[in-house]
Amino acid sequence: MALKKINPIETVAWRKLQEHYQDIKEKKMVDMFQEDGERVNKFHVEWDKFYLDYSKNRLDDTTKKLLLELCEEVDLKDAIQKQFRGEVINATENRAVAHTRLRAQQKTKEVEAALEKMKVFSEKLIGGDWKGATGKSIQHVVNIGVGGSDLGSQMVLDALAAYQNQLQVHFVSNIDGDHVNEVLKKIDAERTVFIVVSKSFSTQETLSNATTIKNWLIDKGFTEKDINQHFVAVSACNEKAKNFGILEENIFPMWDWVGGRFSLWSAVGLAICCGIGYQNFTEMLDGARKMDEHFEKNSFDQNIPVLLALISIWYNNFFLTETEAVIPYSQYLQKFIPYLQQGVMESNGKNIDRSGKKVSYQTGNVIWGEPGTNAQHAFFQLIHQGTKLVPCDFIGFNNSVHGNKGHHHKLMANFFAQTQAFLSGKSQATIEEEIKELSLEEQERIKAYKCFEGNKPTNTLLIERLTPETLGSLLAMYEHKLFVQGIIWNIYSYDQWGVELGKQLASKIYQQLETREINTDLDASTRRLLQQFLTK
């Protein structure tokens, strides 16, 4: 059965939330803490290796109660059950959304077979048993893909760099020829395996880069037969992959029921297997499975993805914040934000609801951020003293990967201090005490600029340590968060029609660039830009 079609703004809970917002919108969080000594106990969740504190938010018991009532009115429980049963909830593309099957305790035979194939291949490469055309073992793996066939694997390998083996994994994604050429400079052709990742095996960026690399090998004297030992594919179109020159036994499966931005758990994550080993890959799957079970089975008032989604909706739809920042206090997670941007904004950037009507309320969130403490020296100024309200997720770890306590305590001191500063700010009285030794003229000149209003909302997520397992749980947590938001907003989170139009137009413009004949039916701006490009 399809997802239910319930307009959220027509629910009783939404109307009550609008009324409640008028009562709470100017309230100070520091006052809420003073008024309720149990606030921290009420607004936190402990689960497995995760501790979520959401007490530093502009909400109270009534807010939480009404948001949970909203879940009931849109029948969130039914939607969650439909997803985990693998029903066709991606209605516009007539597809199931079943990426959770990839990490389930009881996997299907096709998933088990794919995992076994990934295990055998990655262990051959890591163990030196896979030889290139000249008989040399493999040192480099190059993943050729774009979007969901690239970003997830890159992010995971960055995040788990401490677990990487001797294989050097590189990524080619952009159709920019400079990108592929820079990667080719770093590798030894005789000791490299290329993984072409494309569901259709016709994605322009991926096929262009794969063809360029294939020609590069041929220019170095490799034969078509030699190519077999240096190329594998992850695709749903075996025939096209074979026509490219890849042996059928070296083609790994992709399935319609796994969306690209949720596919790193599948054979699309083959580069991850190669870089950190199959055991670590499966530990990541186990971590995601644990979060799946938490999401599916826990009551909503103690359900981390549900609570995060509700808080996000509270700010997006009632405070009209539009953006939210994610600040991981780990340099390993530097690619985590771009990964989230793809997952969240490609999923929930929709203005048509499940009834085919244009929505009259905000959907989606603009996701942005940077690891701390770097972020503190960049955009925190805007959050602290700017004119925009920016809810933030702070992600920190109790223990560092390498165990340097001195560095880690300094890092985490900043982590805790920033959420405290966002909460409390700095009062006029505190400032006056700080500057009382200055002249009256100097005091008047600077005291307004030193003021921090505070009352800036944050979620604080503390995780035991960054490991394959906890990373898997973290990624699944944000997957389920965006799912909940999409259900409440009455949109289809799992299609991506907005990606297609630019591709279609690019194909037409490419032909015009090749023939140097510009179509007269183009808009005046694009026509002039093409003329300018072709004259240089």
Q: Any idea which residues carry the catalytic annotation?
A: 346, 377, 503
Nearest Cα to Cα of residue 152 among 491, 479, 483, 486: 479
Residues with Cβ within 8 Å of 283's Cβ and at least 6 positions away in sequence, in order, are 467, 468, 469, 472
CA distance 461 to 477: 11
Nearest Cα to Cα of residue 342 among 184, 475, 532, 487: 475
Report the relative pairing of strands 44-47 and 50-53 from DSSP bridges: antiparallel
Taking every pair of C-alpha atoms in the chain, what is the biggest distance, in angstroms?
Answer: 84
* Type of residue at 156: V
Report the relative pairing of strands 323-328 and 366-369 from DSSP bridges: parallel
CA distance 205 to 28: 50
Q: What is the DSSP letter of 215?
A: H
CB 155 within 8 A of CB 336: yes
Instruction: Give me the residue label for tokens 């083996």.
Output: 165
Which tokens go with 303?
A: 């359900």
CA distance 391 to 323: 8
Which tokens go with 194?
A: 């290329």
CB 454 within 8 A of CB 421: yes
H or E stretch covering 112: helix 109-127
End-to-end CA distance of the chain: 56
Give the start-end residues of each E strand in 190-329.
192-197, 231-235, 251-253, 323-328
Residues with Cβ within 8 Å of 315's Cβ and at least 6 positions away in sequence, in order, are 58, 321, 324, 389, 391, 457
Q: In what order do the strands lie in the sheet with 168-172?
A: 168-172, 140-144, 192-197, 231-235, 251-253
Which tokens go with 206?
A: 């991926």
Q: For the chain, what's the residue count?
A: 536
Nearest Cα to Cα of residue 143 among 172, 123, 182: 172
CA distance 368 to 380: 12
